[in-house]
Structure 1
Amino acid sequence: MHITLGIIIPFIGTTLGAFSVFFLRDQLSSLVQKGLLGFASGVMVAAAVWSLLIPSIDMSEYLGKFSFVPAATGFMLGILFLLLMDRIIPHLHLSSDEPEGIKTSLKKSTMLVLAVTLHNIPEGMAVGVVFAGVMMNSSDISMAGAFALSVGIAIQNFPEGAIISLPLKSEGKSKTKAFVYGTLSGIVEPIGAVITILLTNYIVPFLPYLLSFAAGAMIYVVVEELIPEASEGEHSNIGTIGFAIGFLIMMILDVALS
């Protein structure tokens, strides 16, 4: 029951954010978007360090001076995986009119959803891997720590749901359709988490690599997409302030609840 709730919490965050389309009239202002993007970046970086990389290194202490190897290897594989997905999956970012990935005739709204979905892949993996560690009774991952990660990702998913649904409404989509699109952008998270947990018995030896893999994928999203979008144009310091707040909240959650 606890694990099921932990898997669903991030998706609830996205759904609640998308639901804002029913009571907010227009798109979020650029200042608010910058602040929220910075906030999401801070949460993801803190989660990558405290919830994923540090446990990965702690699990590999038996390697002595080489305890960094699983974390470093998984981290780089996570970066390369998202780099490949970025090149393959057709998607469009809010701040751009030029689609990325392979050429396609998909609608703009669909590619906007795919962009957020791409961001959510590593987050779903992270939640799944951490709860898999809890199921394996790993001394380096507690149930409270796993919930801290889940709640932290849910907090940063709320603005993501709003950022995807509100522009769709402004482009002429009905409120219901905009809400559905925003919600669907987060469905990959519980799906990815469930698949990871179902494979728990097979991933035991690779858990340190998988934790750092998810960390690398999350950092890729932050550096490649979120921070540039939060920093472009005027008032980039708003994104920086958002980053600091998101980082602090996630760090406090992880340390206090672990």
Structure 2
Amino acid sequence: MNRMILAGILIPFAGTTLGSAMVFFMRKEMNEKVQKLLLGFASGVMIAASVWSLLIPAIEMAEQEKTIAWIPASVGFLLGMGFLLLLDTITPHLHFTEDEPEGIPSHLKKTTMLVLAVTLHNIPEGMAVGVTFAGVLTENTTMSMTGAFALAIGIAIQNFPEGAIISMPLQSQEISKTRAFVYGTLSGIVEPVGAFLTILLTGLVVPLLPYLLSFAAGAMIYVVVEELIPEAQSGEHSNISTIGVAAGFVLMMILDVALG
């Protein structure tokens, strides 16, 4: 793996780390309106990335291989949704806006389950970055290094507020700012790990690339529909999160079209 690709798969993790560091500079409670705006922004980025960076390239690759174009995109998308549904069902985790944990019963600490909830969100993002760089390694004409970096940068941008959303509420669990920062950072470590494993898998089975692209898209859309948008739309000021979705979607679309 060359240095550019290694740097690329670390970019989203850097976004999470920098966002988590906001716990040292901001007040204890994040403003509710700001949090809704950031959740909406993250949703918009993930939706746009799923379409422009993952599903469209998957369809184009299938067309190049003279197969029915919609089959890899459809199959991979549904498998990605199912995979996240399974993880969501069996992994004990707790969302910041809820009091009851989800997943199988466990005796884990509340802070651990809060971090696990966000870690689940980061798995498909790591896969998405990994599979786009895998496409570059296979020298597929539909994937470019600039396009892969555009996706990595877009996810890093949405990871920055996400890192802050993770670390700051952890202070209300009576833990120090340093520990809150560490927990927020650790929630993002699955992204470079997932990206690296995806690159290895794709290198072994190149024909799987269209399926893996759409698999990552399905997993990301699951996170948006199941977690991010419901949290952003709960309570008052839901229109603010809608503005965030529009801003995140347009920014990611511009990044992908301009750099891809």
Q: What interval of TM-score do these two structures reach, taking the shorter chain for normalisation? A: over 0.9
1:80 counterpart = 2:82: yes
The runs of 4+ residues in structure 1 deviating greater than 3 Å are 62-65
Aligned to 1:204: 206
User: TM-score with structure 2 length normalisation?
Assistant: 0.97
Give the drift of 1:76: 0.3
Gaps of 5+ in 1: none
Instruction: Find the partner of 1:241 among 197, 219, 243.
Output: 243
Using the aligned pairs only, state the percent identity: 70
Aligned to 1:13: 15
Supply the distance in 2 between the matched residues of 1:47 and 1:136 (Cα, whole angstroms).
21
Worse overlay, 191-200 or 236-245: 191-200
Equivalenced residue count is 258
Supply the distance in 1 between the matched residues of 2:178 and 2:35 (Cα, whole angstroms).
22
| Within-5 A mapping of 1:14-163 | 14-62=16-64, 66-163=68-165
Supply the distance in 1 between the matched residues of 2:247 and 2:144 (Cα, whole angstroms).
24
Gaps of 5+ in 2: none
Aligned to 2:177: 175
8 Å Cα contact 2:72-2:210 kept in structure 1: yes
Supply the distance in 2 between the matched residues of 1:65 and 1:7 (Cα, whole angstroms).
30
Give the drift of 1:63: 6.2
8 Å Cα contact 2:202-2:208 kept in structure 1: no
Supply the distance in 2 between the matched residues of 1:65 and 1:17 (Cα, whole angstroms).
42
Spell out, residue by residue over 1:200-251, the C-alpha distance to the aligned partner (whole angstroms, 9 max, x if none).
3213010000000000000000000100111111110000000000000000
Spell out, residue by residue over 1:155-177, the C-alpha distance to the aligned partner (whole angstroms, 9 max, x if none).
11111111111111232111110
- What is the DSSP-based 3-state SS (H/G/I as helix, E as strand, rest coil) of the residue aligned with 1:99? coil
Spell out, residue by residue over 1:78-117, the C-alpha distance to the aligned partner (whole angstroms, 9 max, x if none).
0000000010001111100010000001111100100000
